[in-house]
């Protein structure tokens, strides 16, 4: 019985780690001081700041980089900002409420080929305004 329980627990931990959730939780627990995760063409970071503050910081970061917001879409606890990078690549910033005091920010630059360096530059600028 104990062996079966152990196997189930180890299997669950494997599944969770395969999804990358452990890295996301580690970043959230560290107050956003953890390393951003690059997954599926997006640079993702969880911050211990309210959702509204993360949205304002993202807007201010784009303005500071002289990148105009082309479209802003807000639904319940999710905001997407669309802009265009200096080389013409599209920028999408998704801000999602995780809890009342934490938010997830995802930055994607490019459509077919993604620009990780540009996404990192934008995410770093967002961090300055949090």
Tokens matching residue 94: 């998704």
- What's the pLDDT tens digit per position in 69-112? 999 999 989 999 999 988 889 999 999 999 999 999 999 998 77
- State CA 61 to chain mean position distance: 14
| H-helix or E-strand spanning residue 71 | strand 69-75
116 beta partners: none
Least confident of 13-17, 64-68, 126-130: 13-17
Enumerate helices (H) and strands (E) in the chain, giving the number of each. Answer: 4, 6
**2-128: which CATH architecture?**
2-Layer Sandwich (3.30)
Burial 39-52 (b: 16+ CB within 10 A, else e): eebbbbbbbbbebe
76/4 Cα distance (integer angstroms): 42
- What's the chain's average pLDDT? 81
Domain ranges of the chain: 2-128
């Amino acid at each position: 019985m104990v062996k079966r329980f152990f196997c189930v627990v180890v299997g669950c931990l494997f599944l969770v780690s395969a999804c990358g959730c452990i890295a996301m939780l580690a970043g959230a627990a560290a107050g956003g001081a953890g390393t951003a995760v690059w997954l599926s063409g997006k640079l993702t970071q969880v911050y211990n700041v309210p959702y509204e503050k993360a949205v304002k910081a993202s807007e201010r970061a784009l303005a500071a980089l002289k990148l105009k917001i082309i479209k802003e879409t807000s639904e319940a606890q999710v905001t997407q900002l669309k802009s265009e990078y200096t080389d013409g690549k599209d920028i999408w910033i998704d801000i999602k409420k995780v809890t009342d005091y934490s938010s997830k920010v995802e930055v994607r630059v490019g459509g077919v080929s993604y620009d990780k360096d540009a996404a990192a530059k934008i995410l770093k600028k967002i961090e300055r305004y949090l």
